[in-house]
A and B are shown apart, each in its own frame.
Chain A
Amino acid sequence: KNQVEQSPQSLIILEGKNCTLQCNYTVSPFSNLRWYKQDTGRGPVSLTIMTFSENTKSNGRYTATLDADTKQSSLHITASQLSDSASYICVVSGRSNDYKLSFGAGTTVTVRA
């Protein structure tokens, strides 16, 4: 069964600090990995999409890394802001089974002033 595991489940950081979220997956064969940001009461919004050949991608203060060999990804948030408080969801697409998307449970980030 294809799985996506995220850690930590939640974290609290002070405004201006950095943090890193982890995503481990077993989806194989791999197609792409996405990170989404979901504000409370809103739908998820895409931050990055990475394919097998990409090992890092940035979107402003968000930087995602991918190690397809170890099946691990991370999302680094630099100089956190209050607006970064949200749930961050890792989604992996496999090349088999019609590119089915597997979702992680998300990491809830709370940024405090």
Chain B
Amino acid sequence: EAGVAQSPRYKIIEKRQSVAFWCNPISGHATLYWYQQILGQGPKLLIQFQNNGVVDDSQLPKDRFSAERLKGVDSTLKIQPAKLEDSAVYLCASSSGRGLGELFFGEGSRLTVL
């Protein structure tokens, strides 16, 4: 069974530039999460999708971050414009159930903002 796919693995940009990350969850998983993990900290939820609907985006900085999951499968997370404090690993995870099923993570996309 293929795992959660993420790209790119690494990205370096200058502040005020934009960046987009892509995630393809495990086939059949209805729930998709985007997390931000700053070095030395646990993952922080940015947004949770159930199929193509948003369940929780309360911690998403909506002035600069956006995410979509148009067909209920893969998802894109965009940052525009980026700030220095956005330097982090962006983890995508998927699950067959909300908070009940096992959570499978991708390898993450490491963003460095200069």
Judge if A57 is at the interface, Cβ distance under 8 Å. Answer: no
Encoded as 1 (CB less than 8 Å from any B CB) or 0, chain A from 96 to 112 comes to: 00111101111000000
Contact yes or no, B106 A98, CB < 8 A: no
Hey, which bits of chain B sit against chain A, CB under 8 A?
4, 40-45, 55-56, 91, 93, 98-100, 102-108, 110
Are the CB atoms of A99 and B108 closer together than 8 Å? no
- Chain B residues near A31: list those with CB within 8 A: 99-100
Task: Tell me if B55 and A103 are in contact (CB < 8 A).
Answer: no
Residues of B within 8 A of A41 (CB): 107-108, 110
Contact with B along A34-53 (1 / 0, CB 8 A): 10100001111110010000
Given contacts A98-B56, A104-B42, A105-B41, contact A93 B108 (CB under 8 A): no
Smallest beta-carbon distance A31→chain B, Å: 6
